[in-house]
């Protein structure tokens, strides 16, 4: 089963549940706001690695979206340089995980550049329709 991270333009990062949970933990570790970091960590699958953990960034309070994207970039760089959890630098497991995580960073970059989401959405066919849900801290 897969986990997911949906960006504001409807693109979706989707990887194995275990890989998505690790991305969520890596991003949460880079966040300065401990309340938001704890909430984000709670977005992992109920049983770690089992799938269907994830977050739709459109549902996060606006003040947390920028820090989420910056934390994702910082987490990617830290993991690339130092490994992450049990994934050691130079290992095939880390290289595979970083390849998928890199797609998330590229999706963010392309979204910020104003590119149409259909041009680079490698993990999911189609775009995720928006919802009116509000999740996490900061909604007042």
User: For residue 1, what pLDDT is reported?
Assistant: 44
DSSP string, 53-118: -EEEGGGB-HHHHHHHHHHHHHHHHHHHHH-BTTB-TT-HHHHHHHHHHHHHHHHHHHHHTT--GG
Average pLDDT score, the chain: 93
What are the boundaries of each domain within the chain?
2-119
Strand partners, 75: none
Please state which of the ranges 40-49, 66-75, 129-138 shows the lowest mean pLDDT.
Answer: 40-49
pTM of the model: 0.93
Task: Tell me what the mean pLDDT of segment 75-90 comes to.
Answer: 97
Under 8 Å between Cβ of 14 and 114: no
């Amino acid at each position: 089963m897969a986990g997911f991270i949906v960006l504001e333009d409807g693109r979706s990062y989707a990887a194995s549940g275990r890989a998505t949970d690790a991305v969520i933990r890596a991003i949460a570790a880079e966040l300065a706001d401990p309340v938001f970091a704890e909430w984000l960590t709670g977005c992992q699958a109920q049983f770690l690695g089992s799938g269907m953990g994830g977050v739709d960034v459109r549902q996060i309070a606006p003040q947390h979206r920028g820090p989420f994207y910056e934390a994702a970039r910082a987490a990617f760089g830290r993991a690339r340089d130092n490994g992450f959890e049990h994934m050691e630098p130079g290992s095939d497991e880390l290289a595979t995980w970083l390849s998928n995580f890199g797609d998330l960073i590229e999706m963010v970059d392309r979204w910020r550049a104003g590119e149409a989401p259909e041009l680079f959405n490698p993990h999911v066919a189609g775009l995720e329709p928006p919802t009116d849900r509000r999740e996490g801290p900061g909604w007042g």
